[in-house]
Amino acid sequence: MPFSAKSLDFIFENYMNDSKVWFNDHKEDYKKYVTEPFAEVISGLTETMLAIDSSFVCDPKKISRLYRDARYSKGKSVFRDYVWYTFGRPRSEGGAPLGFYFSISPDGFDYGCGFYSTSSSVMETYRRLILEDNKSFRMALEAYRKQNVFTLYGDLYKRNKYPEESVEKQDWLNRKNIGLSCESKDFELLFSDRLIGKLAEDFKAIAPVYHFYLETENQQK
């Protein structure tokens, strides 16, 4: 069953009520409108994602939790207003923080590929490979050029640290963290059977970017 307006309505109402009692009273709605459609998306993308990286975890039971970890959420609401899933490697294989993600919220949905949290040493290796014109980076750059869905994300340094490089490379080099993201309010697509095919097509298009990030991470080991 695809997502529907009721999926987003549930996430919004749960967030506004911000009550474990309310959530427990509406668990069946959560299952019907959120977890079951998410499971369908994950299952539908499994073949595509394993073709990109055979080590990916594709487990519908591992979608994000709506409620926050109380240890790290003082002063915040109990529940989040978004739900996501990340296709990444198991943590035992260095799975976090690199992967593809898909997320929904009352505002729409977003998806992409990147590092969830990037160490300075990983970013140093990442920049070195770009400056060396590494083959994986060239392939990633070509894949990025060919598509028009995703844009680069990541905080930029206030000062341009690589003025001698091309403007194109500067956009990749001058970021404190890095990834590709697409934010969409195309609710017609979100609520349709076309969603899985669209996500699969777009993820395949930027697979070389993921492989460049993966090479960056592997050089840390």
pLDDT one-digit tens code per residue, 126-138: 999 999 999 999 9
pTM for the model stands at 0.92
pLDDT in tens, 20-55: 999 999 999 999 999 999 999 999 999 999 999 999
Strand partners, 112: 101, 181
User: What is each CA distance from 128 to 76, 170, 210, in whole angstroms?
Assistant: 39, 13, 17
Residue 182 has pLDDT above 70, yes or no: yes
Residue 67: the pLDDT is 85
Residue 91: the pLDDT is 72
Residue 60 has pLDDT above 80, yes or no: yes
Cα distance between residue 212 and residue 10, in whole Å: 38
Given pLDDT bands bounded at 50, 70 and 90, which one contains residue 220? Answer: confident
User: What SS3 state is found at 24?
Assistant: helix
The set of residues, in sequence order, having a beta carbon less than 8 Å from that of 199 and lying 6+ positions away, is 41, 45, 102, 111
Residue 95: the pLDDT is 46
Residue 14 has pLDDT above 70, yes or no: yes
Domains and CATH numbers, the chain: 5-218 (3.30.930.20)
pLDDT (mean) for 156-171? 95
pLDDT (mean) for 101-122? 92
Task: Dig out the tokens for 93 from the structure.
Answer: 């294989």
| pLDDT, averaged across the chain | 92
Residue 105 has pLDDT above 90, yes or no: yes
